[in-house]
């Protein structure tokens, strides 16, 4: 039997934008169909935790054990969408554009923050989930998910057109409707997180739910039920849907 690849440490930011007349919008991206992992899928912005994230954590003296993951979630969101969350003070449009350009040129994130006299408010990120699926994919990720509130007057997101070809705001219910109607698709962890988020009328409700369900590493498993294979997760993790037929889980 072929051994599974070692999981790549990664981090994702679930950025929520309050709406006066309904539930909060979520920031989503659509991955390019040329990507090796989750090609064409709708995902929250994020990516692997790299050495620069660890160096940035040391340079700013972060005291969070998961500081590098939080930094990666913020950095990747800037790179993929042009929206800078959890900066202190909030960055103006020109500074964010400059930082995004610097990141594409591999300038250290800590250097860019220093250049623009900005800091990171890592406390503004709320740990929400951690997923490490064991499907036999080309790449396997151990991903931390964080909640954060969108910056006030955040500009429209703009996809980087390399990893992401589209970036947009939408409520979780609308995203799930598109997935259910085959107008879009999402991998198993994203769909489960969208279902969980669709229950909340505000980011405060989402944070309260996160506090009520301490983060555990979630590794789905496959079991047979009535002659069909189902992908399953634990019942006590805060998710309203905990099983899906393998056939649709791999397709969606």
Categorize the per-residue pLDDT at 9 as very low, low, confident or very high, splitting at 50, 70 and 90.
very high
Average confidence (pLDDT) over 94-122: 95
Report the length, in residues, of the chain.
252
- Confidence (pLDDT) at 242: 97
Residue 228: strand pairing partners = 225
| pTM reported for the whole predicted model | 0.93
Omega prior to 228 cis, within 30 of 0: no
pLDDT tens-place string over residues 127-176 = 999 999 887 656 789 999 999 999 988 889 999 888 888 999 999 999 99
The residue extents of the domains of the chain are 8-219
pLDDT tens by residue, 170-192: 999 999 999 999 999 999 999 99
The pLDDT assigned to 252 comes to: 45
Name residue, tokens 């969101």.
77
Q: How far apart are CA 19 and CA 239, in angstroms?
A: 23
Among 36-40, 41-45, 126-130, 184-188, the minimum mean pLDDT is found in: 36-40
Instruction: Measure CA of the first residue to CA of the last residue in the chain; give whole Å.
Output: 26
The CATH classification number of 8-219 equals 3.90.79.10
61: exposed, middle or buried (Cβ count in 10 Å: 0-12, 13-18, 19+)? exposed
Q: What is the pLDDT of residue 68?
A: 97
| pLDDT value at residue 35 | 59
Check pLDDT > 50 for residue 17: yes
pLDDT of residue 1: 44
Confidence band of 250 (pLDDT split at 50, 70, 90): low
Lowest mean pLDDT among 51-55, 107-111, 163-167, 213-217: 163-167
pLDDT for the residue 128? 98
What average pLDDT is seen over the chain? 91
């Amino acid at each position: 039997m072929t051994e599974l690849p070692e999981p790549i440490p990664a981090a994702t930011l679930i950025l929520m934008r309050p709406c006066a007349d309904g539930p909060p919008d979520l920031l989503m991206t659509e991955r390019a169909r040329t990507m090796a992992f989750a090609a064409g899928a709708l995902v929250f912005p994020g990516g692997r935790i790299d050495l620069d994230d660890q160096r940035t954590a040391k340079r700013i003296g972060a005291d969070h054990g998961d500081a590098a993951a939080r930094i990666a979630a913020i950095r990747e969101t800037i790179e993929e969408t042009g929206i800078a969350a959890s900066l202190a003070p909030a960055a103006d449009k020109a500074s964010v554009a400059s930082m995004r350009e610097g990141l594409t040129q591999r300038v250290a994130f800590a250097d860019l923050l220093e250049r623009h006299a900005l800091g990171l408010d890592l406390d503004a990120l709320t740990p929400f989930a951690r997923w490490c699926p064991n499907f036999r994919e080309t790449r396997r990720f151990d991903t931390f998910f964080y909640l954060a509130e969108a910056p006030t007057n955040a500009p429209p997101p703009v996809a980087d057109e390399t990893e992401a070809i589209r970036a947009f705001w939408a409520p979780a219910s609308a995203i799930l409707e598109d997935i259910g109607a085959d107008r879009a698709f999402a991998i198993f962890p994203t769909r489960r997180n969208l279902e969980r988020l669709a229950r909340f009328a505000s980011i405060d409700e989402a944070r309260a739910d996160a506090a009520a369900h301490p983060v555990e590493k979630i590794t789905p498993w496959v079991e047979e039920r009535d002659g069909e294979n189902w992908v399953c997760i634990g019942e006590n993790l805060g998710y309203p849907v905990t099983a899906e037929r393998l056939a649709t889980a791999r397709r969606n």
